[in-house]
Chain A
Amino acid sequence: MKGSTKKKIEGYLFIFPWIIGLSVFVIYPAGYGLVLGFFKFDIFNPPKWVGLRHFMELFTEDPNFLKSLSVTLRYIIFSVGLRVGAAFFLALLLNQRVKALGLWRTLFYTPSIVAGYALALLWNRMMDPQYGLVNVVLRFFGGPTPNWFGSEPLAFATITVMSVWSVGPLVVIFLAGLQGIPQELYEQAEIDGAKMRHRLIAVTIPMISPVLLFNLVIGCIHATQLFVEPLVMTNGGPNNATLTLLLYLYRNAFSYLKMGYAAAIAMIMFLLTLGMTLFLFRWSRRWVYYAGSG
């Protein structure tokens, strides 16, 4: 046996357990879930083929689905912008040589390890119009004290802003990217008279653009899966203003026992995620700079 063949076999043997796990626990359920969208299925009785009926119903007869799609798309746009922007800004700050840097980094990462359910409950308390911390502070400074879940735009905005709370992982990725930028580039820019703003635009952003792309892709996928916060904090309300695709999928699957219909929603979520990712990669050709690619 040739050495290269042997190496290949060894490689496959090493990844074999992982491939088994991926096939059984990810690929098969995901594929089955996608196929299920063409069937009427209530989990208890055998699936019945309905063709494209679920998809037709989703787009022509189901205003709740269209609303949840709209909510999810808006959430993706606003929350990804906010999260990536906030993470980049925090990473820039945490990349400075300041005292107790380790402590600051830990502090900003800590919210990310809090379970989503607990976080949602905490925010629910904080946003209480009468007794919540946010309004208490606003009242102290003489500001307005809105009912954060009392109107559609405010409820949506509250859930969106809340997403910034857990930017820790994005910050860590940005930090790693920032620390990989050669210092010579900054020194050279300084010699050329570039100020901080110019260094950011001409050096930092181009050099970190692959990381930015990564965070955008991950951020979009993460945002598409928003579930716990609206479930716990608003139950999708008021007037479905925070009804996300995943929450609507959950309702159909487990409250209405419409697994096939829910699977059709899952397929649309999959296509949405795929479409966004492809778009980002295509778009990235125009602005992402890979230093090693020449």
Chain B
Amino acid sequence: MSAIEPPVERIWWKQPLDRVEGTWIVIAFVWCIVMFVMMPYWHIYGKQNLSNEAYRTTAEAYLKKATESAEKTTVRTETDLKIPVVHPAPGGDAYLVARLWQWWPMLELEEGKTYRIHLASMDFLHGFSLQPENINIQVHPGYEHIVTVTPTRAGTYSIICNEYCGINHHTMASKLYVVK
């Protein structure tokens, strides 16, 4: 008679739907469809979609591109480690290198301008986490991910690592500047 015993009826599939269950299934199904449609809808009408543009690469090739780009666009260096701060041309490309345990270089972007930010790791997985904006993107070794972003508010932001990458994971942090 109960859920821990076999059904009494030989044929239970033909049991008519109960009103409570039937109503709930219809409501729940409609809600499921709404949630499903939201994702393609946001691709068309929303502004926050993660880019699908990615390429296979190697640490050496990516680092070479990033270094060349940084050499052309460095405006100053910061901290004892002399980490370059790069100011890429609006609409242009900026390269960010994730490695144990550093984001390199630092980016200085202009408010309201759009940039193509390249992300790749030199070693383990890392997590690009922009605070306090709270944008979080996984960074893989061997893959170059190109994300188009438009900073909307000037200020000093932090990039922290939120994918565990070894014993000094929690020291991996950097700044990102957005200027007017």
Q: Do A and B come from one complex?
A: no
